[in-house]
Amino acid sequence: MRIDGIELRVVTLPLVSPFVTSFGTQTERTALLVRAVADGVEGWGECVALPEPVYSSEYVVGALDVIERFLGPALLKESDLTAGRVGPVLHSFVGHRIAKAALEMAILDAQLRSAEQSFADYLGVTKDRVPSGVSVGIQPSIADLVTAVGGYLDEGYQRIKIKIKPGWDIEPVKALRAEFGEIPLQVDANSAYTLDDVAIFQELDDYGLLLIEQPLYEDDIRLHSVLARMISTPICLDESIVSARAAADAIALNAAQIINIKPGRVGGYLEAMRIHELAYSASIPVWCGGMLETGIARGANAALAALPGFTLPGDISGSDRFYREDITEPFVLEDGFIRVPTVPGIARLPIMDRLEEVTVSTRWIGS
């Protein structure tokens, strides 16, 4: 297909409660949405970059700029574009994987819509629902944490992940085990530690965690393999796995016993599928991470997580975990599961009136 133009829309949605991690506090979600118009159909993509470069080097305004200046114009020049061509066409631009992923998502959505095919069908998945986990931010106190986790367990979430940082690690885990017993529990450090903190991880070994997510810095793949030899809890990498090549390296070095796959972080759903494939053949379990997605990408993640190697619950919670009102029909937790969409396209369409309410700016590139 040939793209007529690309709309870049920045939206801001308030969060139901502040989301606190080792890298900062978010009270709202500002996100960039991409709408590609091609051959009479439109496709939607969601750019999962945060407003600030604190999780990854990418950020909303940076993604907007690189798409407007370089990535968008390169795609507009193509006369026979498919989702599979997006990666190769943009290959000469280094990095900016989250921005590239949003464009690829929009093209894939347009392609699937014109073929009237669902993403689930494209992936060849048959599961109609995926188990739902929830990521719980750092809380003001242990009592607040216990209340928050108790609420999520009552809602039916099948796995709890808590954010940790130095000074908020052993105590919260100990408190949750004391209160809730052997619930499926894991922790996410978002790179807040160094190898000098090994004693903390050795102490966490006593609590039967499913995994420790990204304890060390993004480019410390080798040091994660050193840490893995010193502790018994499996290490799961998030930030470090920026591509299928990085995943292959981490697996070969025994730096990751489990991998968190986020389509945005790795450059798109197609690269996410390649990582799933190589992890599956290496018997490395994977699960689908989250980036406070709106309903646009949340449903696509649910379909991806229906692939057979996704054997752990993902951070694919109900829309109401973050948003009182989403920009699409909300995803709802049903007995602890999120339903895999079966409608044509990769994404659930936004509700236009709602979208206008939360839109901060709109740009159009193309004819």
Q: Which of 21, 5, 11, 42 is closest to 293 using CA atoms? A: 11
Per CB under 6 A, does 290 bind ligand OSB? yes
Question: Considering only 5-13, 285-293, 328-336, 341-349, which stretch makes contact with ligand OSB by CB under 6 A?
Answer: 285-293
Cβ proximity to ligand OSB: between 104 and 188 the closer is: 188
Cβ proximity to Mg ion: between 23 and 180 the closer is: 23
Scanning residues 210 to 269, which ones bind ligand OSB (CB under 6 A)? 238
Dihedral sign from CA coordinates of 62, 65, 66, 68: positive
Scanning residues 201 to 220, which ones bind Mg ion (CB under 5 A)? 213
**Residue 104 interaction partner, one of Mg ion, ligand OSB, none, beta carbon < 5-8 Å per kind:** none
Q: Which x/- pattern, by CB under 6 A, does the window 185-214 give for ligand OSB?
A: ---x-x------------------------
**Residue 317 interaction partner, one of Mg ion, ligand OSB, none, beta carbon < 5-8 Å per kind:** ligand OSB
Q: Count interface residues toward ligand OSB (CB under 6 A).
A: 11
Taking CB under 6 A as the criterion, the residue among 1, 3, 55, 149 binding ligand OSB is 55
Cβ proximity to ligand OSB: between 86 and 286 the closer is: 286
Q: Using CA atoms, how far apart are residues 107 and 101, in angstroms rounded to an integer?
A: 10
Smallest separation, CB 362 to Mg ion (Å):
31
Scanning residues 132 to 191, which ones bind Mg ion (CB under 5 A)? 188
Q: Which x/- pattern, by CB under 6 A, does the window 340-359 give for ligand OSB?
A: --------------------
The SS3 assignment for 183 reads coil
Which segments of the chain are extended strands (E)? Answer: 3-21, 24-38, 41-47, 129-131, 133-136, 159-163, 185-188, 212-213, 235-237, 258-261, 286-288, 337-339, 359-366
Q: Which of 107, 105, 124, 101 is closest to 49 using CA atoms? A: 101
For the purposes of burial, counting CB atoms within 10 Å of the CB of 103, is it exposed (0-12), middle (13-18) or buried (19 or more)? buried
Smallest separation, CB 166 to Mg ion (Å):
16
Is residue 262 annotated as a catalytic residue, yes or no?
Answer: yes
Q: Using CA atoms, how far apart are residues 119 and 266, in angstroms rounded to an integer?
A: 18
List, as one string, the DSSP characters of 326-363: -SSSPP--BTTEEEPP-SBBSSPPPPHHHHHHHEEEEE
Per CB under 6 A, does 315 bind ligand OSB? yes
Is residue 161 annotated as a catalytic residue, yes or no?
Answer: no
Tokens at 313, concatenated: 């619950």
Out of 100, 165, 174, 262, which one is annotated catalytic? 262
Per CB under 6 A, does 317 bind ligand OSB? yes
Q: Using CA atoms, how far apart are residues 100 and 119, in angstroms rounded to an integer?
A: 19
Q: Using CA atoms, how far apart are residues 326 and 162, in angstroms rounded to an integer?
A: 23
Tokens at 356, concatenated: 């206008």
Catalytic residues: 163, 262
Footprint of Mg ion on this chain (CB under 5 A)? 188, 213, 238
Footprint of ligand OSB on this chain (CB under 6 A)? 55, 135, 188, 190, 238, 289-292, 315, 317
